[in-house]
Amino acid sequence: MMNIVIETIMKRKSVRLYEPTPIPKDIINTIIKAGNQAPSTGDEKEVEEGGKKRKITDYQPWRFVVVEDPEFKQKLVQTIEPIRSNFYEGMKRTMPEMYEQGMKLYEVMEEPKDLIFYSAPVILYVIGPRRNSIGCAMVCENIMIAAVSLGLGSCYVGFGSMVKGDADVVQTLELKDGERIYGPIVLGYPKVDPSENQVSTLAELRPKKKEPMIKWI
C-alpha cells in the first residue's frame, strides 16, 4: 500500500554531500512548522510575572536555531573537530569498513572538506528540555520527512551537539541548564540523487533495513 506520505518516509536517507545553494527562508520556516507539529507532553516551566514566580505547563517546550552564518559554522567545526577525528581514529579499529567508507566520502568532497556537517547550507538545532527527549526526537523526524517532501536532503548529526567545550558557542546557542541539543539536523539540496549515489549516503556498507520485528497479540 503506497501514498505520498509513505513514499516520502521510505525515501528519507541520510545525505552527506550537498550543493552550496541556500535554502529559501519560507522553505526553512515550513520545515520548522512541520517539526513543531510533533506530539508534545506538557513540560513544567517557571515563569515570572509582575515580580512573582509561578509554574506553568509548557507545550512545544523546544526551540529552533537556524545556523547559516559561515563564521559560526566554522566555529562549530573547530569546536567539534577534535572529537570527530578522535572518534574516526577509534573507528579504524572498531569499524574498519565504516572508516573506509568515511574516507571515500572525504575523497569526493570539495574543499574545505567537512566531515561533521558535510558543508550543508543549513544546520538546524532543535533545543529542548533534557527530560523531553521523546517529544524532541519526534520534532527531528518530522523535520527530516518534511525536508524530503520539499526536495531537500537531511542528516541527523549527533556530533553537532558536542559543543559544550566552547563557551562562546554555548552562549550563542543560548544553551541553558536543563536543556539539551537534539540533532542538529543538516539540510540542503543533495549533490547527487540519494537514491542512487552510494557515497553520498554512506550506504554502500550499510545493510538494508531489517524487516520489522512484530508480535501480533
Burial class (CB in 10 A: 0-12, 13-18, 19+), 171: exposed
Residue closer to ligand FMN, measured from CB, 16 or 191: 16
Bridge partners of residue 185, in order along the sequence: 124, 156
Site for ligand FMN in 139-198 (CB under 6 A): 155-159
Which helix (H) or strand (E) segment holds residue 29: the answer is helix 25-36
Q: Using CA atoms, how far apart are residues 186 and 13, in angstroms rounded to an integer?
A: 12
Compute the least distance from the CB of residue 217 to ligand FMN, in Å: 28
Q: Using CA atoms, how far apart are residues 203 and 217, in angstroms rounded to an integer?
A: 35
Residue closer to ligand FMN, measured from CB, 14 or 142: 14
Say if CB 205 and CB 97 are below 8 A apart: yes
Compute the least distance from the CB of residue 141 to ligand FMN, in Å: 9
Residue closer to ligand FMN, measured from CB, 99 or 159: 159
Number of residues that bind ligand FMN (CB under 6 A): 10
Residue closer to ligand FMN, measured from CB, 28 or 155: 155
Residue type present at position 23? I
Contact segment (CB under 6 A) with ligand FMN among 9-17, 24-32, 37-45, 53-61 equals 9-17
Contact segment (CB under 6 A) with ligand FMN among 13-21, 33-41, 68-76, 125-133 equals 13-21
Site string for ligand FMN, 67-106 (x = CB under 6 A): ----------------------------------------
Residue closer to ligand FMN, measured from CB, 96 or 158: 158
The full length of the chain comes to 217
Contact segment (CB under 6 A) with ligand FMN among 12-20, 62-70, 92-100, 124-132 equals 12-20
Give CB contacts under 8 A, 24+ apart, made by 65-68. 65/124, 65/125, 65/127, 65/173, 65/174, 66/28, 66/32, 66/122, 66/123, 66/124, 66/125, 67/122, 67/123, 67/124, 67/125, 67/184, 68/22, 68/121, 68/122
Cell readout for 189 is 539540496
Q: Which of 14, 101, 132, 200 binds ligand FMN (CB under 6 A)?
A: 14
Q: By the criterion CB under 6 A, which residues form the site for ligand FMN? A: 13-14, 16, 155-159, 201, 206
